[in-house]
Amino acid sequence: MSQSIQNPSTSSNSIVLKIDGLTKFFGGLRAVHNFNIEIKKGELVGLIGPNGAGKTTIFNMITGIYPVSAGHIIFKGQEITGIPAHEITQLGIGRTFQKIRIFPNLTVLDNVRVAYHPHARYNLFDGILRSQRFSHGEREMTEKAQEFLGVFGMDQHQDTLASNLPYGAQRRLEIARALATEPDLLLLDEPAAGMNPREIIELMELIHFIRDRFDLTIFLIEHQMRVVMGICEWLTVLDFGEILARGTPEEIRNNPKVIEAYLGTQATRMVA
Amino acid sequence: MKTKIRSLPTWLTAGLFFLIVGVTFQIVFSRGWLSEYWQVIIMLGTIMGISTLGLNLKYGYGGMFALAQAAFYGIGAYSSALITKDWVVGWSGNPAGGLAGVLALDVGFILAVVAIYYLKIGRLRRRLRDGLSRWLTTFEASVLATSTALVVGVLIIVVIGGGSGWLVRQGVLTIVPPALGALPSAVSQQVIFALALLAGALLAGLIGFLIALPLLSLTYDYLCIATLGFGIIAYVFFNNADKLIPTLKGARGMVGIPQLVTWPWVFICAVIALVVMRNFIYSSTGRTVLAVRDDPIAAETMGIDAYKARTLAYTLGCAYAGLAGGLYAHLYAFLHPSVFTWLKSVDPFVMMVFGGVGSMTGSLLGAYAFVILLEGLRVLPAAFVDWRYVIYPVILLVVMLFRPQGLLGSSEWGFLKPPRIAGRKQVQGTSAGMAPAESQASESQRR
């Protein structure tokens, strides 16, 4: 049923992420059922739905944090189902979390430098013996991280402990850190959670900016309709673990099923 | 940011500092300005400091609540004692017998682990399972694949590990006694002692690694209980070790260990331990350990293998305990299992919490404070000596109430501070706004 709905975006770009029949059970609870999606390169896709619809569970399965109960996740033509989370990241999927998960006791700079570790040019023994390779590799990493912080306007705070940053800056740091893993696909889990309207507008600008700057494909979960309506090219709506609707923001906004899921039947009647 | 007068490079100031401290204490000790008793206390404090550094690597930096430091301390102590005792007093028939045995264990172990890692047994199992599942049910396929992988793994351990171990043993037995026998006995003893310390620390680290493999998937308190279990196992083993190697003497206590520890030995070992740990923490690999401590899931999504980072920190921490144990054995020349009960694992824990969790300076400070306080309180009149165990917990309580992060918290002194990183050369724009400056963005190319 849901497969028959065509993706509104009809560009001929290659498919970055293809999810087929993804299902997750927590014991007897079916959190996600038969979820399908195809995301093409460069798209900005939203996943919306009421609380507990299974959105974050889908992200956790894509990034390998939860094992998949059934179904397939194919990233750039490669099956990534069942691969450990850190390997999935190294393949090119970065993510942020709904509840901010920066490294609170590391400095801002170290938060970003950690993300470069898989690309480090020196090994453990170079580090302990402080070899030439260490100093070159470390300098390169530091400069890269500082440049990155500069892009996000955080280079003055490089020595601040991440836990001491204000909320909005922590979000920005989390996004910067995810981008430092050099992803092709970025998963943003409710990036606007807990932000005020002004911050939300800035965030939307930031998301557009990073997509163009880093040539990214972005898949984003959002709770607040106005955010996704503003930036996403097309949306998938999830309710009780199943796909409810798909379409452009305009279509979704006028879809009675979506309104019902969000506002309840009473509201639907009132709108009607 | 404060402006500083251009200072000497860190390695130079640190080197000078260590040189001065080491030489001063050596002069004080050799002139007899401190009584023999206090010399031993200071050396013991340094040794406990090494062990506490190891524990801090596990708990303070790695975030693993591990309670078996005394077990690894004991492994290092007994294994290095075996080596030197054999060389000086003899128990196995060949003076290098102990060295050959422990080194064979070390090398065989390492090679077996490396072989298993590079031959990718896990991948073999997965491939086999996927291949077999075409003809068999999933369950049958996975059982068959797992058992095949196990057999291959055991074969690798026996052939590569056992084979290389045997070769090393034979090599050491034939080469070392004539080679070192040519040297004067005082020199050869020192060489053997150095090898013994190294082999003991290595063995403790390797056993720690073996323990870490199954246990480190556990979190906080479960890991604590599990390592506690290992501590008890190790204690029982030390008590009954004479049944395996008679000279270990089990519950009667091992005697005849040469008293080879002098201040330079303790001091140089401590400096090496400190420098290695500092360089480890302030490297990319060290940062992954800290990141995993702060948030393992986020670390995984940064492309960091959390399990690997933890295993590494744990192994290194155990090796530190082993090194400290080796020094301890040759300081007192007597080993008794009661020193290595799981209760003694709490000692380094107390030192670490007292000095500062996640601070190298704090670990050392805590160790000295603990040892010197406990021994220093012996100046109390004879009737009150037992009150030491009341006074010192009270001090601990007060510290915990007023400074729960330990005396130093996570701050460091001198060269143990994180290296300062200069800010970016060209400071562009302000960082106040959320939206980044577009001009800045186009300037710097990412890849």
**Beta-bridge partners for A238:** A243
Q: Do A151 and B423 touch (CB under 8 A)?
A: no
Please tell me if residue A118 touches chain B, with a CB cutoff of 8 Å: yes
- A196 and A62 within one domain: yes
Residue A97 forms part of a structural domain: no
Average pLDDT over residues B229-252: 89
Same domain? A264 vs A232: yes
Question: Could you give the number of structural domains in chain B?
Answer: 1
Question: Under an 8 A CB cutoff, do A153 and B436 touch?
Answer: yes
**Are A77 and A91 contacting, i.e. CB atoms less than 8 angstroms apart?**
no
Q: Is residue A99 part of a domain?
A: no
Per the structure, how many domains does chain A have? 2
Q: Tell me whether residue B54 is in a domain.
A: yes
- Nearest CB partner across the interface for A213, out of B358, B421, B441: B441
Contacts made by residues B11-19, CB under 8 angstroms, sequence distance 24+: B11/B415, B13/B414, B13/B415, B14/B414, B14/B415, B17/B414, B17/B415, B18/B267, B18/B271
A118 interaction partners in chain B (CB closer than 8 Å)? 303-304
Q: Tell me if the pTM is above 0.90.
A: no
Domain boundary among A182, A217, A249: A182
Residue B444 has pLDDT above 70, yes or no: no
Q: Do A159 and A208 fall within a single domain?
A: no
- By the 10 Å C-beta count (0-12 exposed, 13-18 middle, 19+ buried), B234 is classed as buried
Q: What pLDDT does B428 receive?
A: 46
Looking at beta carbons, which pairs linking B393-396 to residues 24 or more positions away fall under 8 Å? B396/B350, B396/B354
Task: Give strand ranges (E) for chain A.
Answer: 15-26, 29-40, 44-48, 70-75, 78-79, 93-95, 185-189, 217-222, 234-239, 242-247
Average pLDDT over residues B302-320: 92
* SS3 assignment, position B289: helix
A151, A182, A213 — which closes off a domain? A182
* A187 in the same domain as A128: no
Is residue A98 domain-resident?
no
- Using a CB-CB distance cutoff of 8 angstroms, which residues of chain B are in contact with residue A159? 421
Range of the domain at B91: 12-415
Name the minimum distance, in Å, from the CA of B127 to any CA of chain A. Answer: 13
Q: What is the pLDDT of residue B430?
A: 41
Distance CA A218, CA A232 (A): 9
Residues in chain A with CB shorter than 8 Å from the CB of B447 are: 182
Smallest Cβ distance to B298: which of A101, A158, A199? A101
Extract the tokens encoding B176.
């070392």
> What percent of chain A lies above the pLDDT cut of 90?
28
Decide: helix, strand or coil at residue B426: coil
Q: Are both A236 and A113 inside the same structural domain? A: no
In this structure, the answer to whether residues A68 and A200 fall within a common structural domain is yes
Is B421 inside a domain boundary?
no
Contact list in A for residue B417 (CB cut-off 8 A) is: none
Question: Are A101 and B295 in contact (CB < 8 Å)?
Answer: yes
Interaxial angle between packed helices B360-376 and B36-56, expressed in degrees from 0 to 180 and rounded to the nearest 10: 140
Tell if the CB–CB gap between A203 and B434 is shorter than 8 Å.
yes
Is the pLDDT reported for residue B56 higher than 50? Answer: yes
SS3 A77: coil
Note whether A188 and A263 are same-domain residues: yes
Residue A11 has pLDDT above 50, yes or no: no
| Contact between B408 and B356 (Cβ < 8 Å) | yes
Q: Which residues on chain B are in Cβ contact (under 8 Å) with A95? A: 301
- pLDDT tier for residue B1 given thresholds of 50, 70 and 90: very low
User: Residue B320's Cα: distance from chain center in Å?
Assistant: 2
List, as one string, the DSSP characters of B18-53.
HHHHHHHHHHHHHHT-S-HHHHHHHHHHHHHHHHHH
